[in-house]
Amino acid sequence: MSEQRTALVLGGGGITGIAWEVGVLAGLAEAGVDLGTADLVVGTSAGSVVGAQLRSGVDLEQLYEGQLEPHVGTERAARLGRRTLARYGLAMLLARRDDVAFRRRVGELARTAADTGRTPTEAERRAAIASRLPSPEWSDRPLVVTAVDAESGEFVTFTRESGVELVAAVGASCAVPGVYPPVTIDGHRYVDGGMRSPANADLAAEYDRIVVVAPLPRGAGPMTSVDAQVTGLVSRVAVVSPDQASLAAIGKNVLDPAAREPAARAGRAQAAAVADRVREVWQG
């Protein structure tokens, strides 16, 4: 029998999503299911941060403890306000379920917000992203980071072979339109890979065993849900998304650094409940 290839897909979900995912991964490792051994890691938005952290080789317990530390630093809480959400809704309406057209419209929204000073600067965001990464260097182990070209709406992926700095790639994947500025790479501006799908799980379709850890599993409008992407795959798949206790801990503002600790603890607690299901998919 040929060797079964494994893939870990880490979805978007803001600052609390990072904390929750780290909690889930640490709890699963404690239960004997180490997803860090994945042959491929796919990271979108928050998941790109966690993917880079995981591939850095830093111990999961250390990453988890880092989420429990009081928030310090210059990064302030952000929020997806009603006006921004309304603009997303209008972009969906005008795009008429054309996914590329939708991404072009939210890309325009992102560029306008940044160019008129309604977001932090690119330099500020780069510093915030760099502070989350244990290393600025790509790992030798396969990691795919997703983003969207803010002008064309094209979905793009960055890897070690792309020749793009890891901090820039992760920053692009985390650039929530209207909240954070697009990231400029080689003259192009990029925004959040979650504008295509909350997790982009289909990028792992060729792998035999797939675990998707998705703080925000549902899609909206042209943004494809996790379930839609994994339905019909011949792979063995387990999807882990927040239970009620985790949702309560994460709270209403996923971009608030102060909510990292409760989100991480809730993720770790939830891991115990899903460990057997994930183990069956991962280990057989």
Residue 95 maps to a domain: no
Residue 115 maps to a domain: no
Mean pLDDT, range 222-244, rounded to an integer: 93
Distances (CA, A) of 39 to 29, 56, 83, 125, 143: 16, 14, 41, 30, 9
Amino acid code (one letter) for 35: L
Residue 14 maps to a domain: yes
pTM of the model: 0.95
pLDDT of residue 181 exceeding 60: yes
Distance between CA 239 and CA 140 in Å, rounded? 26
- Phi then psi for 273, rounded to 5 degrees? -80, -25
Domain that holds residue 219: 6-75+120-283
Residue 263 maps to a domain: yes
- Active-site choice (48, 173, 192, 246): 192
- Active-site choice (45, 48, 235, 246): 45
- Phi then psi for 257, rounded to 5 degrees? -60, -25
* pLDDT reported for residue 2: 62
* pLDDT reported for residue 231: 92
For the domain that residue 197 is a member of, what is the CATH number? 3.40.1090.10
Residue 92 maps to a domain: no
pLDDT tens per residue across span 44-93:
999 999 999 999 999 999 999 999 988 655 566 787 777 777 877 877 78
pLDDT tens per residue across span 84-123:
778 778 777 877 778 999 999 999 999 999 999 999 999 9
192 is known as an active-site residue:
yes
Domain count, the chain: 1
